[in-house]
Amino acid sequence: MLMAMAKPSVSELWLRPCGRVPLAPRLRLVCFPHAGGTAQAFRSWPERLPPGTGMFAVQYPGRQDRFSEPLIDDIDGLTGPLVAALEPFVGEPLVLLGHSMGAFVAYETTVELERRHGRVVDQLVVSGVCPPHRKPPHQVHRQSDEALVADVRRVNASFADLLANPELMRVLLPMIRADYRLSETYRRDEPVPVEARLLAAGGIEDSEVGRQGLLAWSSCAAGHFEVLVQPGGHFYLFDDADAFTASLAERLPGGALWSPAG
């Protein structure tokens, strides 16, 4: 008799462990990928983080081991199940980090977790984007495949090279368009401040957001707020993961730059 496969929990469905996660982690760091990104983007980080850190990365539907699932192109469709995936960690030290599109998803997830449970996210790290009430309007998701690929190339030439392969393009382009649609249609007219400590980070050569755009995230902070700018472009945190994770480690709970009163 064949045994039925156990259905994964909502946490197992949405969150991928990065490396070996301690049984009782000192803190949990959950990372939200950029448009077109996957949980694999953060695979090299655990070895660079302080001992005792349990690291997870979000796996959005429609890619890698979730390829057969429908793509989600609106932010509510992501934040609802992600809140459910993170609720088992409520009461434990928790840090959410999102890059580019992932920053919007991490922010909205924090807003909803706090609405339900109060201050349960110790720190929110948003990277590579302006806050939702300051983001400029774009409609690239409505344009032709050629225009979409050109914009991908502008931001991430190495990813655009994959799209030169017709077979990969047929697989990847719908995912990228859905992510662009999510990012470009998402907006808040007024910021909602979060109680979590807020760190806005970016690359000094990033054409997507400058220092003033990062500073604008201060409107989304009810308490401690900091800006971190490092060398590099839009993907500075992956291009020099050693530098970014070192700066991040200092700012994580228990790090050299962390103050409990903040």
- SS3 of 113, please? helix
Q: Give the integer Cα–Cα distance in Å for 33 and 56.
A: 11
Name the H helices within the chain. 10-14, 75-86, 101-117, 145-155, 157-162, 166-185, 211-215, 236-239, 241-251
- Quick one: residue 36, left, alpha or beta (phi over 0 = left, psi -120 to 50 = alpha)? left
Which residue do the tokens 């790090």 mark? 255
Cβ within 8 Å of residue 41, ≥6 positions away: 31, 33, 34, 57, 238
Site of tokens 């990928």: 33
Among residues 34, 100, 141, 183, the one annotated as catalytic is 100
Active site residue 117: no
Active site residue 100: yes
Name the residue type at position 210: G
- Catalytic pick among 34, 99, 141, 234: 234
Hey, which residues are catalytic here?
A: 100, 234
